[in-house]
Structure 1
Amino acid sequence: MSELNEAPASIQLTSSGQLKHFLTVEGLSRELLTEILDTADSFVDMSAQQVKKVPLLRGKTVVNLFFEASTRTLSTFELAAKRLSADVLNLNISTSSTSKGETLKDTLMTLRAMHSDMFVVRHSSSGAAHFIAQHVTPDVAVINAGDGRHAHPTQAMLDMLTIRQHKGDFANLKIAIVGDILHSRVARSQIHALKILGAGEIRVIAPKTLLPSHIEAMGVKVFQEMSAGLRDVDVVMMLRLQKERMQTALLPSEAEFYKLYGLTNDKLAYAKADAVVMHPGPINRGVEIESAVADGPRSLIMNQVTNGIAVRMAVMSMAMSGQLTDIQKQPELI
């Protein structure tokens, strides 16, 4: 599948402005992102309850359509759907008919004939989730679980929830995103979400070879040295070094990258004393971050995992609710 042009953000919303699909945070309002965070907050404590289910998606079928390998994202989406009481189908693409030559559109037609209600899509091509959203029936919701270098909106929102829980209002925060910015769909979504939520200052720290051209146009400050970039920041968001997306040698070595950009306690000392550390995972210890930091008292990495379930529950329930509301307003389509 080739790289695809991004569909307009309006495809994500119902006629009344509710969430219909969740493909990207770009173009969404602060009010809607805040509603996602507030809804997720209501689900956070569910893991501590004796009964960990609510009936919001009872009778609905959620298909996890993963064309890329994943453990954390797939498992949290599956758990989120099950906690919403949905039936869940995990489609193993490596053994499915797409590996035998069937097109993505044909696969969607087959799944549509099974009366699926929601597709959670992860794909190596940017725009894949938009493509699918444009080819499903009006009663099917599509959630983007990561597409190429483009977007990973639920990861961004679980990061926003984690920041809000520990730092409160975004307006006074200085936030640094460190590492492989060039290949990171997470970084793009984080930057968009932080801007929409009114973050005080967004910094990116990386070598030139791992920075997209014209990154400043996204409203960030660019640094190529950790000492300057981390100075007085409130939140340090590390990124995975995505070697599988690098088509040429962009770094001398992992050891050199770690020396210059790996987060150690010595480098973390440049940040504020109460600064917190985040990482979307999976972690490459000794490449992006040292174990003493990843497992240390300022690390929120496990909080991110817990919040991932809550955010995905929020997005899935809101999208399905929006779909139903939109269809009810159009009785001629029923």
Structure 2
Amino acid sequence: MPTTTWNRHHILSLADFSAVEYDTVLQTAASFQEVLSRRTKKVPTLQGQVVANLFFEPSTRTRSSFEIAAKRLSADTLNFAASTSSMTKGETILDTAKTYLAMGTDIMVIRHREAGVPNAIAQEMDRLGVKVSVLNAGDGQHEHPSQGLLDLFTICSLIDPTRPRIELLQGKKIAIVGDILHSRVARSNIWSLTASGAEVHLAAPPTLLPKLFADYFSEETAEKSLVTERLALSGVERSRSAIPNRQLFLHWDLEPALRDADFVMTLRLQKERMTAHLLPSLREYHQLFGITRSKLKLSKPDVKVLHPGPVNRGVEISSDLMDDPEFSLIQAQVTSGVAVRMALLYLIGSGKV
């Protein structure tokens, strides 16, 4: 395991992650990836600790991934589902968290459809003076830190499986395509990928680009300007002195984003966007922004495609491309998720032993 001291008590956002922290997560995840390849996949690192998965909205991949990650670290797990909890009887979110605190929980993994809930629970734990860590597993349209980190790990470990590190992405072109307006995954990936020195290109219909970006960039300059001052994503401002030269481009057409791209990340399009009149039709969206083999010819010959899942086949990405191991990293992302979440639980939990 890396010997770098880890001082972060909660993991709520990637907006203030340092380069050292990113590399610590990547190297720790690589160590656990090796553990997961063994016949005996369990280590006693968090033995005796309790990890509570408090998921206030439905989830399959993230919840299962955190649960198996905790069990691989020998932690005890508690799983919460809002539909069968006392919240149906009027219990508040903070009261629910305090109930799990009283049961001896050491780490709370929080997912909620409203932005800021994990942060509120973390603040309450800090106010109470307890050593409970909170890990944001996705909150509203704010962030999804563990997804951003597993995407980063998937890409970096493809380039160098033995020593993944963010400097490997220096100068790489990465396109993020789709419903950026509503995507917590996009926000976390923008932070992590621009921190690595990658050139990040966002592509979406005008109705699915965040209004936040419109405040900072005009159509006249968005296609050609580097963002080197500061980003105001997720309600957090960063000065360029922390991680300099973040490079972010906006496109309202797919072609310039895909041209010479090293990696393409497409985002899930929720079908309720149709009822909100943000798109004319799913068929038109696929024609204009769906990732297909023919469109990928604009990218590098060895381009790889990612998707956080679940996937709408034939909408965000063609079905044949999704299943093609020559291009698709989607299954690798799922596998990476366990190792990365083991790393996160280990880093915030090892100081409690």
Calculate the TM-score normalised by the size of structure 2: 0.84
1:300 maps to 2:351: no
- Partner residue, 1:289: 317
Instruction: State the alpha-carbon separation in 2 of the partners of residues 298 and 109 from structure 1.
Output: 45
Deviation, structure 1 residue 223: 1.1
Deviates more, 1:299-308 or 1:218-227: 218-227
Any idea what SS the aligned residue of 1:220 has? strand
Instruction: Please give the per-residue CA displacement for 1:251-272, whole angstroms capped at 9, x wherever unaligned.
Output: 0011111111110101111111
Within-5 A mapping of 1:109-124: 109-124=98-113
Paired amino acid for 2:264: V
Paired amino acid for 1:162: T
1:157 maps to 2:149: yes
Contact 1:235 1:277 in 2 (8 A): yes
1:166 to 158, 171, 193: 158
Instruction: State the alpha-carbon separation in 2 of the partners of residues 151 and 109 from structure 1.
Output: 24
Contact 1:183 1:242 in 2 (8 A): no
- Partner residue, 1:253: 281
> Judging changes above 3 Å, is the alpha-carbon distance between structure 1 residues 246 and 89 closer, same or farther for their aligned structure 2 residues?
farther
Within-5 A mapping of 1:1-334: 18-136=7-125, 137-168=129-160, 169-199=168-198, 201-215=199-213, 216=217, 218=231, 219-244=247-272, 248-296=276-324, 297-323=326-352
Q: Identity of aligned pairs, percent? A: 50
Any idea what SS the aligned residue of 2:64 has? helix
Contact 2:68 2:338 in 1 (8 A): yes
Instruction: State the alpha-carbon separation in 1 of the partners of residues 117 and 88 from structure 2.
Output: 17
Deviates more, 1:254-263 or 1:44-53: 44-53
Paired amino acid for 1:213: K
Instruction: State the alpha-carbon separation in 1 of the partners of residues 31 and 271 from structure 2.
Output: 37
Structure 2 alignment gaps of length 5 or more: 161-167, 218-226, 232-246
Paired amino acid for 1:27: D
Contact 2:6 2:347 in 1 (8 A): no
Deviation, structure 1 residue 69: 0.4
Paired amino acid for 2:37: A
The alignment of Structure 1 onto Structure 2 pairs a total of residues equal to 308
Deviates more, 1:188-197 or 1:79-88: 188-197
> Judging changes above 3 Å, is the alpha-carbon distance between structure 1 residues 182 and 143 closer, same or farther for their aligned structure 2 residues?
same
Instruction: State the alpha-carbon separation in 2 of the partners of residues 300 and 194 from structure 1.
Output: 17
Q: Which runs of 4+ in 1 moved over 3 A?
A: 216-219, 243-247
Deviates more, 1:237-246 or 1:54-63: 237-246
Contact 1:19 1:322 in 2 (8 A): no
Any idea what SS the aligned residue of 2:53 has? strand
Deviation, structure 1 residue 275: 0.8
> Judging changes above 3 Å, is the alpha-carbon distance between structure 1 residues 293 and 220 closer, same or farther for their aligned structure 2 residues?
same
Paired amino acid for 2:347: M
Paired amino acid for 2:71: K
Instruction: State the alpha-carbon separation in 2 of the partners of residues 86 and 267 from structure 1.
Output: 45
- Partner residue, 1:4: none
Contact 1:262 1:287 in 2 (8 A): yes
Contact 2:46 2:346 in 1 (8 A): yes
Instruction: State the alpha-carbon separation in 2 of the partners of residues 92 and 181 from structure 1.
Output: 28
Any idea what SS the aligned residue of 1:64 has? strand
Instruction: State the alpha-carbon separation in 2 of the partners of residues 166 and 282 from structure 1.
Output: 22
Paired amino acid for 2:208: L
Paired amino acid for 2:206: K
- Partner residue, 1:5: none
Any idea what SS the aligned residue of 1:189 has? helix
Deviation, structure 1 residue 322: 4.0
Instruction: State the alpha-carbon separation in 2 of the partners of residues 84 and 245 from structure 1.
Output: 39
Aligned Cα root-mean-square deviation (Å): 1.5
Instruction: State the alpha-carbon separation in 2 of the partners of residues 193 and 310 from structure 1.
Output: 17
Deviation, structure 1 residue 244: 4.8
Structure 1 alignment gaps of length 5 or more: 1-15, 325-334
Deviation, structure 1 residue 323: 4.8
Any idea what SS the aligned residue of 1:151 has? coil
> Judging changes above 3 Å, is the alpha-carbon distance between structure 1 residues 85 and 246 closer, same or farther for their aligned structure 2 residues?
farther
Instruction: State the alpha-carbon separation in 2 of the partners of residues 309 and 247 from structure 1.
Output: 35
- Partner residue, 2:163: none
Deviation, structure 1 residue 167: 3.1
Any idea what SS the aligned residue of 1:177 has? strand
Calculate the TM-score normalised by the size of structure 1: 0.89
